[in-house]
């Protein structure tokens, strides 16, 4: 079988491994998208070397630039939170994988797929463990305006070793809405949540 055809088959197989993981986690760039990106950059790499489309490094630079726009499309900002960065990075990697296969770097490409698959599959569990010691939660509270009550709430975070990152306040007549963005251990957040739910001075409480 022609080596170029083998490259295409390998590109689909390796890209599919990464794509399956993204599809399983229901990410924007899933199974088919990752495969096509990997296959597309493989085709570009094969054609550039076969037909001499200028300096190969310029072709690679063009692919990297182009894939950047595609990766940006999966990044989402919602309420100040940014998501999709890992998927965007995976799109970027899939392009590099396709280029490696197209240039005949088979062992290197397979080794990189193993590493990336391990990172995507098992590192989220490690992140969860780390987040237990550095969890960020936004507390949205509405209460009758009273400086004493506001001070008590602030002291509640400090007493439980939670660091206040930011505070947003909006007052309407005799009521005030406050959003505290706080960082700390998960067990400390749990203590604060329980105490807040028992606080009869609060008119409304939500957290995320």
Residues 89 and 145 in one domain: no
pLDDT the model gives residue 24: 85
- 121/177 same-domain check: no
DSSP string covering 117-137, please?
HHHHHHHHHHHHHHHTTSEEE
Q: Are residues 124 and 140 in the same domain?
A: no
Chosen domain end from 129, 154, 169: 129
Phi, psi of 199 (to 5 degrees): -80, 115
pLDDT for 171-194, tens place per residue? 888 889 999 899 988 889 999 999
Which among 66, 115, 112, 116 has a CA at the least distance from the CA of 86?
116
CATH number of the domain enclosing 183: 3.30.70.260
Q: Supply the pTM of this predicted model.
A: 0.66
What confidence category does residue 83 fall into, taking pLDDT thresholds of 50, 70 and 90?
A: low
Q: How confident is the model at residue 26 (pLDDT cuts 50, 70, 90)?
A: confident
119 and 175 in a single domain? The answer is no
Both 20 and 76 in one domain: the answer is yes
Count structural domains, the chain. Answer: 2
């Amino acid at each position: 079988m022609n080596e170029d055809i083998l490259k295409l088959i390998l590109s689909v197989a390796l890209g599919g491994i990464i794509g399956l993981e993204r599809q399983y986690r229901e990410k924007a760039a899933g199974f088919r998208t990752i495969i096509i990106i990997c296959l597309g950059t493989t085709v570009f790499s094969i054609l550039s070397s076969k037909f001499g489309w200028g300096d190969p490094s310029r072709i690679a630079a063009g692919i990297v630039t182009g894939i950047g726009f595609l990766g940006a499309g999966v990044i989402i900002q919602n309420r100040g939170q940014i998501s999709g960065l890992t998927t965007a990075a995976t799109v970027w990697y899939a392009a590099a994988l396709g280029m490696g296969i197209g240039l005949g770097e088979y062992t290197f490409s397979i080794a990189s797929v193993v590493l990336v698959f391990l990172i995507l599959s098992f590192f989220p569990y490690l992140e969860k463990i780390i987040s237990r010691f550095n969890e960020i939660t936004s507390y949205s509270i509405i209460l009758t305006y009273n400086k004493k009550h506001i001070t008590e709430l602030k002291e509640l975070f400090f007493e439980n070793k939670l660091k206040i990152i930011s505070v947003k306040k909006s007052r309407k007549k005799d009521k005030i809405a406050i959003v505290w963005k706080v960082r700390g251990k998960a067990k400390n957040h749990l203590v604060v949540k329980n105490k807040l739910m028992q606080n009869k001075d609060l008119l409304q409480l939500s957290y995320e």
